[in-house]
Structure 1
Amino acid sequence: MFQRFFKPKKLKKPVDLSQLITDMHSHLLPGIDDGSPDLEISVGLIREMSLLGYRKLITTPHISSDIYPNTPQVINKSFELLKNRLEKEGLNITIEAAAEYMLDDGFEKILNRNELITFGQKYILIELPYFQEPPNMLEIFFELQIKGYRIMLAHPERYLFWYNNIEKYSDLKNRGIYFQLNMNSLTGQFSREAKKMAEKLIDAGMIDFLGSDLHNYNYLQLLKNSLYEPYLAKLMMQGEIKNHLL
């Protein structure tokens, strides 16, 4: 009742992100999605992430059949360009490339071709359409798990068709789905509802991974702002975040 009327105060000191070690959700490969448009911006953003304490970045360009039909070949080409540039710059940070897959009509084709790009212990980052739950979502999740994939659901707090339906989230957790929270959601960047849902998922102890979802310098500033959010500190204190295992 108290929290309904009194917002928690911002932290006086920022949360230390160095304890995460790894970020597994970003759009830093130049020129292949709605993230960084060129090498200069990619290098600048990665330098900033290093200053925030990250030692490893797993960058995850969009793959969707209609807007960003990226392939492993396209991703690898952009990744090699970025990796070579980082080596020339002397940046002491590890970078890997995976993908953020939209669960759309083309996803099953990619799955059937065995072209999924994973990271860590066979994790795959999946996002859902924002307007409705895909009717075949649970079937595809089950098929992925049968094949040994670990499903990491990107920013579950942003799917407003599940807003306030904590039972849905509980069901997914019981099915072995990992939840990756966007830190920027705690600032209200995406919507007030996404911020509230993020806080509810933290209260319920359901978050497994923290991601930056870094696209550009505006996202970077909001990421820095999120470090003063009390719910981020609460999540870190729960001791359940698994970024360091990737």
Structure 2
Amino acid sequence: MLSIFNRSKFLIDLIEGIPDFHNHTLPGIDDGSDSVETSRKIFNSFSEIGINQIVATPHIIGEYYPNTPFTIEEAYNKILQEKAGPKRLTYAAEYMMDQHFLEILKSNDLLTITENKVLVEMSYFQAPINLTQILFKVQNNSKIPILAHPERYTYMHSKDLSKYKELKTRGCLMQINMLSLSNHYGKGIQKMAYQLIENGLIEYICSDVHKLTHLEKIKEIKVPNKYTQNILRICDNNRELLQH
């Protein structure tokens, strides 16, 4: 599905077949899918663009989304019981880096993407005051943080990308949102997304889908040709991460 003038490519032509390990597709436990039937529709839409390996990652945010391995497994089992998801469906979590997360780290009760990689996020308003300490403790637990949607933290934006580069030196891998390659979150975030890709600061790409309309928008995204090789390399990282 190439664009008419061949100056850009549809994103779905680049991401076909990759595993998606950041999405909110388990029913009724965060701000994502509200029911098994909604989950079924989302998974079917994933399948239409060739994505059939999915790691569902509900939010764990203190008292706001106080999910646990038990509540997440419960929601996952509903999908299995209703046969509403793909065969290659597993689950992990997206952790807000806050005090509650530090307590979870102490118990070593993490739901990880792979054995040693954990999906984390920050507030959209400001980074945690103790961010360095949190990242240090993650690594002390023999885990590697994958920072979700770094392009969306506007307080990190700068021409020299210095705050991003600092996080890389502290062991952070970075995962960009597919929707950030459009103006879905705003033109400033779209610009930063491409800047991070161009500078080789992004390891992974995922949907961060919360609802069916997000996937409909992803299907319409066109990527300028100058970025396609970088995005293809990022897609290869997704595949390598979850090969089995």
In structure 2, which of residues 5, 9, 12 is the aligned counterpart of residue 11 of structure 1? 9
- In structure 1, how many angstroms separate the alpha carbons of the residues matched to 2:60 and 2:11? 37
Shift of 1:12: 6.5
Residues 163 and 193 of structure 1 are in contact (CA less than 8 Å); yes or no, is this contact kept in structure 2?
A: no
Number of residue pairs matched by the alignment: 234
Shift of 1:106: 1.2
User: How do residues 217-228 of structure 1 correspond to structure 2 at under 5 angstroms?
Assistant: 217-226=212-221, 228=222
Shift of 1:233: 2.4
Secondary structure in 1 matching 2:220: helix
Secondary structure in 1 matching 2:26: coil
In structure 2, which of residues 155, 179, 192 is the aligned counterpart of residue 184 of structure 1? 179
Deviations 1:44-80 (A, max 9, x none): 1101111211131001001001311111110000101
- In structure 2, how many angstroms separate the alpha carbons of the residues matched to 1:186 and 1:223? 9
- In structure 2, how many angstroms separate the alpha carbons of the residues matched to 1:234 and 1:64? 35
Residue type at the aligned position of 2:44: R
Secondary structure in 1 matching 2:25: coil
- In structure 2, how many angstroms separate the alpha carbons of the residues matched to 1:128 and 1:64? 10
Secondary structure in 2 matching 1:242: helix
Deviations 1:114-159 (A, max 9, x none): 2211122321100100111111111111111121111000000000
Shift of 1:171: 1.5
Shift of 1:84: 2.2
In structure 1, which of residues 112, 134, 141 is the aligned counterpart of residue 135 of structure 2? 141
Matched, 1:215 2:210: yes
Residues 150 and 175 of structure 2 are in contact (CA less than 8 Å); yes or no, is this contact kept in structure 1?
A: yes
- In structure 2, how many angstroms separate the alpha carbons of the residues matched to 1:34 and 1:207? 25
Q: TM-score scaled to structure 1, two decimals?
A: 0.88
- In structure 2, how many angstroms separate the alpha carbons of the residues matched to 1:196 and 1:83? 39
Task: Report the counterpart of residue 29 of structure 2 in structure 1.
Answer: 32
- In structure 1, how many angstroms separate the alpha carbons of the residues matched to 2:153 and 2:66? 22
- In structure 1, how many angstroms separate the alpha carbons of the residues matched to 2:72 and 2:123? 22
Task: Report the counterpart of residue 78 of structure 2 in structure 1.
Answer: 81
- In structure 2, how many angstroms separate the alpha carbons of the residues matched to 1:12 and 1:75? 33
Task: Report the counterpart of residue 120 of structure 1 in structure 2.
Answer: 114
RMSD, matched Cα: 2.0
- In structure 2, how many angstroms separate the alpha carbons of the residues matched to 1:113 and 1:239? 32
Residue type at the aligned position of 1:173: K
In structure 2, which of residues 188, 194, 200 is the aligned counterpart of residue 193 of structure 1? 188
- In structure 2, how many angstroms separate the alpha carbons of the residues matched to 1:94 and 1:240? 18
Secondary structure in 2 matching 1:133: coil
Residues 29 and 59 of structure 1 are in contact (CA less than 8 Å); yes or no, is this contact kept in structure 2?
A: yes
In structure 1, which of residues 90, 93, 99 is the aligned counterpart of residue 87 of structure 2? 93
- In structure 2, how many angstroms separate the alpha carbons of the residues matched to 1:199 and 1:172? 18
Task: Report the counterpart of residue 53 of structure 2 in structure 1.
Answer: 56
Task: Report the counterpart of residue 166 of structure 1 in structure 2.
Answer: 161
Secondary structure in 2 matching 1:185: helix
Task: Report the counterpart of residue 5 of structure 1 in structure 2.
Answer: none
- In structure 2, how many angstroms separate the alpha carbons of the residues matched to 1:217 and 1:12? 19
Q: TM-score scaled to structure 2, two decimals?
A: 0.89
Residue type at the aligned position of 1:116: L
- In structure 2, how many angstroms separate the alpha carbons of the residues matched to 1:17 and 1:33? 26
Task: Report the counterpart of residue 3 of structure 2 in structure 1.
Answer: none
CA 112–239 in structure 1, closer or farther in 2 if over 3 Å, else same: closer
Q: Which runs of 5+ in 2 are unaligned?
A: 1-5
